Structure 1
Amino acid sequence: MTFDIESHYQEALDMDKKAKTVIQDSIRQQTKMCIENAATLSQAISLAEQLLPEIEWRVKQYVKCLENASKNYKEWLMEDYQIRLKGLIIKMYPRLHA
């Protein structure tokens, strides 16, 4: 499943949404993908860990869209993204596999 950061970013701007909705949508999309492809919660979390190269690419594309984001912001966003992805998987897995 692909997720075009640049087009989602432009769409958010066109709809007067905050830029961070792009990251939120990206996390939701990857959460869904991990949960749908895992038989257990631990497998879903493992899949999320395997997405690190894709997460890095998405964060890099997002930071490019922002134009003036600092290196520290990019590093923080990478960490925050991974934490939020795992947290959402843990929250949503029981609901979708009940």
Structure 2
Amino acid sequence: MVLTEINVDDLNTLMHFRIERLLHLFTSSLPHCLIQINAGELLAIHCPSSAVVDDLLDELEDLCQHAWLILGVHSIAVYFGEEEILRANTYFQ
């Protein structure tokens, strides 16, 4: 069986699908945010309002677990404006 090589476009498409999956799990909060993944280690979530921050904080444990399982990130940082509100590990030992 000959397998084709995965190129950069394939990796970008896969990451897009993973982010979409996470967005579908947290429909009340994440779709309103700007999401960045830095070096595959940190999920940075930039919130447009304090109400979205509150929603994310209420869902934090589930968000951490799903972000680790779906995206493979090690931590989450939640931002409002230019200020980091919270940084949390995504997996619990």
Q: TM-score, normalised by structure 2?
A: 0.36
Higher strand content, 1 or 2:
2
Q: With a CA cutoff of 8 Å and minimum separation of 6, indicate the structure with the bigger relative contact order.
A: 1
